[in-house]
A and B are shown apart, each in its own frame.
Chain A
Amino acid sequence: MAQITYVEAIRGALEEEMRRDDRVLVMGEDVGAKGGVFGATAGLFSEFGEERVIDTPLAEAAIVGVSIGCALAGLRPVAEIQFLDFIPPAMDQIINEAAKIRYRSNGDWSCPMVIRAPCGGGVHVHGALYHSQSLEALFAHVPGLKVVIPSTPADAKGLLLSAIRDPDPVCFFEHKALYRSLREEVPEGEHLVPIGKSRIARAGDDLSCITYGATVHEALAAAERLGQDGIDVEVLDLRTVRPLDREAIIATARKTGKVLVCHEANLAVGVGAEVAAIVAEECFQQLDAPVMRLGGPEVPAIPFAEPLAEVYCLGPEKIEAKLRQLAAY
């Protein structure tokens, strides 16, 4: 097995799936000769040609809307939105069209498509307000969509293959800080990770930290530090934020009795609120502390300058401090 990065895993998944299934095509801004601004489609243009790796006009609603049409006509489009921050023009197509096609036609039509987009930022990413947002909650609210946010190269591949083969529209958000920072062994060939199933990234008995995306790695670092003091933290990587893996959320909460939910996205009305509600509803008797949450503050997005970005971002320290607070409760 090869050691590859997160973005290489995504590129490889697209390539394998395009070789396997000629209904799969890729479209987006700069996905062709350039291979995407992050290289996620590098090499696909020369292998599969301009009819299958389509450099689209600069129009996000059209990228999604045309992909919907392709899906309705029997193809398996993978749309790339260059940055998740630029997806709002396509929201109508995603929420009112893709998500509702099966329901509104009483099952007569379906919309199997993937919308890929780099998301997230960080203190050293310098994406600022419009190249770093984490907007997954907007999509996770909508029945008809699935929302996947892998945290490792192996999951990126396995979940992307599952997303492309899924019979319904899948939002697939890739944290840009992970693209080249991680390298791990990724199984070659068929490696399918099911959508809607979480993963215990670190087993532990004392506290549960439920998270997803790049924050998984920050939570793992924080957990190591607590481990040195004999506090055993379980880290649950949700992998999919719609549908949530309720069983696994309930299981870890019941096991440890103390739950911290954290994510990079803004805290208020975020995915964490839904996770916390599940824990409150299903595990009240087993809880030894109130469910705690950590997330982005009440500002629109991550600012550019590092001292400002520090205020927004979590990082292992803030997670560690919150976990210690939870442990002491």
Chain B
Amino acid sequence: MAVSESAPAIAADLTQDQLRSMYRDMVLGRLLDDRILVLNRQGRAPFAISGQGHEAAQVGVGYALRRGYDWLVPYYRDLTLVMVMGMEPRDHLMASLGRAQDPNSGARQMPGHYGSRAHNIVTTGSPVATQILHAVGVATAFKYRGEDKVVVTSVGEGGTSEGDWHEGLNWAAVHRLPVIFLVENNSYAISVPQSRQMAVAHVADRGPGYGMPSATVDGGDCLAVFAAAREAVERARRGDGPTLLEAVCMRLQSHSSDDDQRRYRSPDDLAQMREHDPLERFRRQLEGVGVLAEGDADTIRKDCQRVIEAAQAEADAAAPPDPATALRHVYQEG
């Protein structure tokens, strides 16, 4: 957690508006995530996969990127991060309700499989860690064309056991590519704890093995993540190669709507985790330095709720996909 101490210093060179906007993005992600879980329990959203507890890390990384310029190859917990990149609550609700307007896939994929060309978010599938190699390829293209863009790709700590992850880090280091390998470490891969995935204490311990700078940061500390991510982005942009960035997060909800983490995590563990909710931490931090005045958090919350209500109304009214489209887009048409 080396970087977390630098948080106040960083706060100094983010504007108050930026800090408020970071907080708002976290709240929007959380409330939307909550809404989707409700829709799932109501039997309206057949599947939900939650990113609660990862918001601070995702906002920290997202704000270190140039929106509309840099690229993201995300994974299924990145609801908040893809919104920082430009997606909207309505996009997620369209996907959750299986509407034709799901911009990720036209309701072909399960929700949480993000992708949007318009926002430089690469399409993703279900196999864990395959996306890592795509990010390396995207970075290869940036370097080949002499562009100073960077690409972030994310995965859970469980996903770092996959061969594709290792192959990707090795390749990116050999070719000094502008990639940031973000690992959102929430200690569990469904039910399997980190100790059964790796024999090192931190994913970032592996950085030296690839010849790559690496850092472990407190993923509940938005500004610490921002600082570490900004350093990694600057390194990549100036041509000094990849970074392995591990953000220690918490998985506040079960793995997915088909899981119940009370079956394999103790009540103490779950209760303790909730006490360190990153949203609350950031709110207190911002109130402490006067960026949020009394009542601001409440106003932001209500504003986000309104956005979500409007988005849901739109998604409720939206049409399901036309069966005639099911056979399209296997190959280029025409």
Partners in one complex: yes
Q: What residues make up the interface of A, taking CB atoms closer than 8 Å to B? A: 25, 51-52, 54, 56-57, 59, 61-62, 64-75, 77, 89, 92-93, 96-97, 100-110, 143-144, 146, 167-168
Residues B139-172 near A (CB distance < 8 A):
139-144, 163-164, 167-168, 170-171
Q: Are A104 and B168 in contact (CB under 8 A)?
A: no
B220 CB to closest chain A CB (Å) equals 31
Q: A65-B134, A69-B138 are in contact. Are A105 and B174 (CB under 8 A)?
A: no
Q: What separation, in Å, do the CA atoms of A77 and B136 have in the docked complex?
A: 13
Indicate whether B263 reaches chain A with its CB closer than 8 angstroms. no
Interface residue ranges of B24-74 to A (CB < 8 Å): 71, 73
Q: Smallest distance from the beta carbon of B65 to chain A beta carbons, Å?
A: 16
Cβ A96 vs Cβ B127 within 8 A: yes
Distance to closest chain B CB from A303 (angstroms): 30
Stretch at the interface among B221-229, B288-296, B323-331: B323-331
Partner of B133, one of A61, A101, A105: A61
Decide if A102 touches B330 in the complex (CB within 8 Å). Answer: yes
Determine if B141 and A103 form an interchain contact, defined as CB atoms under 8 angstroms apart. Answer: no
Q: Do A75 and B332 touch across chains, with their CB atoms under 8 A apart?
A: no
Instruction: Say yes or no: is B196 at the interface (Cβ < 8 Å to chain A).
Output: no
User: Chain A residues with Cβ under 8 A from B274's Cβ?
Assistant: none
How far apart are the CA atoms of A97 and B132 in the complex, in Å?
Answer: 12
Q: Decide if A92 touches B171 in the complex (CB within 8 Å).
A: no
Interface size class of B (residues with CB under 8 A): 35 or more
Closest beta carbon of chain A to B277's beta carbon, Å: 34
- How many whole Å from B298's CB to the nearest CB in chain A? 38
Q: Are A62 and B164 in contact (CB under 8 A)?
A: yes
| B93 interfacial contact with A, CB 8 Å | no
Known A57-B167, A62-B171, A93-B130: A167·B332 in contact at CB below 8 Å: yes
Whether A69 pairs with B139 at a CB distance below 8 angstroms is yes
Instruction: Specify the chain A residue showing the minimal Cβ separation from B141.
Output: A73
> Chain A's nearest CB lies how many Å from the CB of B97?
16
Question: Which residue of A62, A68, A100, A143 is within 8 Å of B167 (Cβ)?
Answer: A62
| Residues of A contacting B116 in the complex (Cβ-Cβ under 8 angstroms) | 108
User: Hey, what's the 0/1 contact readout for B166-208 against A, CB within 8 Å counting as 1?
Assistant: 0110110011000000000000000000000000000000000
Are the CB atoms of B115 and A56 closer together than 8 Å?
no
Give the residue name and chain of the A residue nearest to B175 (CB).
A54
**Are B140 and A69 in contact, CB atoms less than 8 angstroms apart?**
yes
| B residues in contact with A62, CB < 8 Å | 133, 136, 164, 167-168, 170-171
Of B15-23, B77-85, B117-125, B302-310, which stretch is located at the interface?
B117-125
**Contacts A62-B136, A97-B134, A144-B330: A108 and B115 contacting too (C-beta < 8 A)?**
yes
Pair A106/B329 contact, Cβ less than 8 Å: yes
A104 touches B134 (CB 8 A): no
Residue in contact with B332 in the complex, picked from A57, A93, A102, CB distance below 8 Å = A102
Pair B140/A66 contact, Cβ less than 8 Å = yes
- A120 → B minimal CB distance (Å): 26
Question: CB distance A109 to B138 under 8 Å?
Answer: no
Structural contact, B170 and A108, CB atoms closer than 8 A: no
Let me know if B285 is at the binding interface, CB within 8 A.
no
In whole angstroms, how far apart are the Cα atoms of A77 and B123 in the complex?
18
Q: Is B113 an interface residue (CB 8 A)?
A: yes
Of B104, B125, B132, B167, the most chain A CB neighbours within 10 A belong to: B167
Which chain B positions have C-beta within 8 A of A89? 163
Bound complex: CA of A102 vs CA of B136, how far in Å?
A: 20
Q: Which of A52, A70, A89 has the most CB of B within 10 A?
A: A70
Q: With contacts A57-B167, A143-B330 known, is A65 near B136, CB below 8 A?
A: yes
User: Quick check: is B137 within 8 A (CB to CB) of the other chain?
Assistant: yes
* A66 and B136 within 8 A (CB): yes
Closest to B325 in A: A106
Chain B residues with Cβ below 8 Å from A106 are 102, 104-106, 108, 328-329
Cβ distance A307 to chain B, nearest Cβ, rounded Å: 38
For the complex with contacts A62-B168, A66-B133, A67-B137, 17 further pairs of A-B residues with Cβ separation under 8 Å are: A54-B175, A56-B171, A57-B170, A59-B170, A62-B164, A62-B167, A65-B137, A66-B134, A66-B140, A69-B134, A71-B137, A73-B142, A96-B127, A100-B125, A105-B117, A107-B329, A168-B332
- The answer to whether B125 touches A69, judged by C-beta atoms less than 8 angstroms apart, is no
Q: How far is the CA of A71 from the CA of B133 in the complex (A)?
A: 12
Chain A residue nearest to B109 in the complex (CB): A104
The answer to whether A66 touches B137, judged by C-beta atoms less than 8 angstroms apart, is yes
Residue of A nearest to B140 (CB): A70
Q: Say yes or no for B135: interface residue by CB 8 A criterion.
A: yes
Query: A62 CA to B102 CA in the complex, in Å?
Result: 30
Nearest Cβ on chain A to B271's Cβ, whole angstroms: 39
B332 contacts A110, CB within 8 Å? Answer: yes
Find out whether the CB atom of A51 lies under 8 angstroms from the CB atom of B144. Answer: yes
CB within 8 A of B331: which of A54, A108, A168? A168
The minimal Cβ–Cβ distance linking B242 to chain A, given in whole angstroms, is 13
Report yes or no: A96 in contact with B170, Cβ–Cβ below 8 A.
Answer: no
Return 27 A-B CB contacts under 8 Å, by A number: A62-B170, A64-B133, A65-B132, A66-B140, A68-B133, A69-B135, A69-B136, A70-B140, A72-B122, A73-B71, A73-B138, A74-B141, A75-B141, A96-B130, A97-B125, A100-B125, A102-B331, A102-B332, A104-B105, A105-B123, A106-B108, A107-B333, A108-B103, A108-B116, A108-B123, A109-B115, A109-B122
